[in-house]
Structure 1
């Protein structure tokens, strides 16, 4: 018998292990399927990202070249507007008379732009009438210049003369061609800008651009393994080839290009190629790059191999882990079964351990249901606490009140509400222990009577030994006749309480409100109505809106006055007008104040301004004059209204002054910040956080404020300030670059060099060398 029992247990263990292992394997297979779908989507996305990245790189290179060409246009326009060049245009015999002095003056006056712009290899000014060529520091005749100085392999001096004399060139670029400059061969692009007027060219400014400089701009575009790149002008002619070994014929039909940019995949010379192109909106040039598809998507193919490798490893590891987890998780389940058997002496009718555990858990659920039933008995206490908070106005927002409704099992949203307070009269002759016990019993019975009368239309809440608060709830369509409804309910309750308990109920009824947070206001109104009813020793009920209007008291509490002062000092015109309108409605419309009381109210309002103006450092004389006018004005409602409008206008004047002070403070603050930066830029630890700490403002506010006031980011302003000072030191001192970097606030020489080159196009060392060469 024992052997049979052990065999059953062993079989159960294997069954339990298999039941735990199979879900792991199913989940693993499911995860692999999901991963395969994600992989397919990811590969498509990565391919798109790769092509977009390639396009973005081409766009960036194009934008840089456009800016460089714009710089050339600016340089040639400056040269064309030079008075010396304009005066030399009509000269025919340059070596006669004073013209020789003009040549010497021209040689000295031409600025060498290649010192500050590494994109300019050199430039020449060619005059048509004198057939002279000028360059910074030298001058030549056409024949001498095109034979010995700049020998174009494809254009001789006659063709140059015709090119200059017969055409007016505006931002015209000659394609790259071989040029021998003083015996050294180069591949040059030539930028042409005519001088004179259209139809009457007097010469041309020729700027030479080394094709290697253009290739540097596009060095981020890797062209290898059969790739090519070209720059085409707006007529489709090749301006420059950006890769070595490319021929003069374009290997691609540009008629296939549609739109301003795009990517085209097709076979060229039996090789899959990806052609990326973009067109410049500046000059209409087309930038064209062709690469083998395998090169562009090399990263994608690499990622595919990595993913496949990891997927195989994951599959093997997943199966192993599933086996281990199934084995480990089956052990505690067996321990649980053994513990249940040992602790409860239960006999399972289930075929396996999981079924037996299920039996036990179902028993736990039954116990839990019993516990929930006991908790539900505590719901009335939770509701009582909730209604107490509603009546006392302890909810800041309606959202908080709505959220807590779910916890007390109520749904009161979208309803209208009204509070009534019921006072039980009949225990006015002192108290004794017997009388208190009787009062408790009658109070409970009265409360139960009220609750039955309300049915599902309201809730009853204890607020004192002899008082109850009743919260009536209406649907939107019932609000029109809620008074009749409430009076009918209270009348039935009064008759039942008087007949059964010999007590006389007295009621105070508040107004209707549309939100949970307004219940506290209705409660206070009901309390005022009840106090008036008790004070007058009357029976029955009294509505709040039936209370007599107070003609001898104006409404202007201390907290409203304090809030009004704070809002005016802050310059919040909208909120100030809102508070003033509330005061006007309450004192001029809702309360029927006498003229004398209304004057007191207006003097109190002027007194508020008398308190406020010294704090704002504003003149009080205007207020005193208007107060005097109020004293002498006729006692009419219209004069009181006009005086209140004067008060309102004065508050507006205060708000305007507060806002003007804010603007002046902003000017003073930005001047202080800029002064601080100019005096402390050499501090390497100077940054946004440090300045914010010194100015005692948050760094987020400082960053936004600085950008709004100056139009430039804080960090950019500080970097530009340091770079300008560095240029001054490079010009005027013999300090090393390392010393200058420390002097202008850079703790690292390499950081300074990178920032300088990014802003000026050359390193500080090269910049200083160029300055020395120019002045040496």
Structure 2
């Protein structure tokens, strides 16, 4: 049992290690997904705060715009400039009716009043008050009547904002921020004829920031550039004060974790207000935590399952070894010692078996020449299946293959064709022996074997093929031919094949040498001949690298017809203008299949739904199929790939057009908006997007921009009180004259006529 568990443990530990490695990779992927999810949550929160900031700033800009409209109101100007002691009751009443009700559409302007210094009178939308009476109904908790008069009514204000302060409105306790503007706008003295004061309730401002507090349950704090609170929601003041005073808190960071909250900070570029939002860490990371829990559950389950599979495999794989140990024990009658495990036991017994079979080794030594001869015959016949098999067989035959490259040749003893008597065979045996001995003297590394009664095959082992090496072999053969002729009156003819780079290709070179020898005998040439010098049809196929690259580029561009033309040209070059052998045809088809597989492995197709099916179709192309069938299948594969590329291009074009539409809708009011700016935004060349927009939409981009601007101008003419000049500036025209011409060209009438017709 101890021996079994030892082998079992070794296998089990190996499987556990294999199981842990992908688990580490999975953990890294899990950490990455958590990080990405957290980053997305933070980005969404920052965007939400920035949207709230934009809305609040627009509302405050509307308040400022409203006070500027009051500054040019004729009725109010008359009241401000009256200097007699009489009271213009009608003028005051008319102002209350027409002026003080004009801002009620904006909830920021629901509570405002105008103080007239010459009348010492406060005008509201519903009534008039003396300051002391107004203070009884509406007053700040932290200001007395005199302080309020000095700070609010008797000073000159230029778009001033008083931070959040406790306020009483008809016995109702609330908090407000106060906007103050003196009238007229160019008041520079210590006091002004009139002051517009707008009280904005904290609840109104808070309603614009509820998106963060309601969604995340956090807090929002807005302060002015001096740190005074404008609005606060969801958290108490001591916490905000603590955060502001903590030196560890970086006020310049947009987002950072502080205690248990993610604090987002943005600063307005218009008024210097600081917007801060705090989101609980638990709520922010809710999605990330969900991923975490599921990942741990899946990982734990797969590890448990993997452990069970490891137990089963460890048992299955250790069982044969244990059985082999049992057989060894039965055969040799030996037991493992405590200090030796099962593997040592097996290796020890196998070593004993080898040692005890010296007789077999001696017998193999006597048969070594036969083994060498058999090895060389199998090598030139191409019977080995792999390079490793050749190397092991060469070691067994005690043959040094060196670099494994060289040339193959066949040498024939002339003059014995058709002779097969005993005397002739004996003479040929002696001649072959003399030939091999003479060749070995001139080239010790040559390997030779008999391939017939009058033929000897030779392998000249060399490094890289080169003209110098071929010249050296030619000199050896010339020397051999001269020596045999002079010493033994023996005439030989020889053929040599092309250089083979690996021993696996030695059979190819040998076949070339046989063909060269046949040609040598046919033309009755003495000496040797290289296969390339023989008149043998050995045309190679036509498939240059630039043609392959052009085919890949064409398919990637989705140009099906051009790709078909290239394929047809390749087939015409190889099978119309050349006479390829079957082997050359196979090599050409293999090269083309490799091209398509390389094309399929590129990013365009690697993640596409057609990857697996197309890869299978390419691999399934049979070398022995008719040429027309192979070409038709390549055409079909290209058609499918090009269709996918064209479809992706259309999707990309639609996305670009959408981006152009959206950017135009956002930036139409910018007078500097041009096609060049749009091209920068979508990150495409200007000429490219111009042609693309025209092709997809049927109109030029400039015409589309004019239509967007005119549509917006028509809306403003119908729904606003802006002048035509103001509307021209708001829709992106520097010149009102150009705007009028464009509007009339598009609608057929002038802007003023359009507005009048709408009113009527």
Structures share fold, TM-score greater than 0.5: no
TM-score, with structure 2 as normaliser = 0.42
TM-score, with structure 1 as normaliser = 0.41
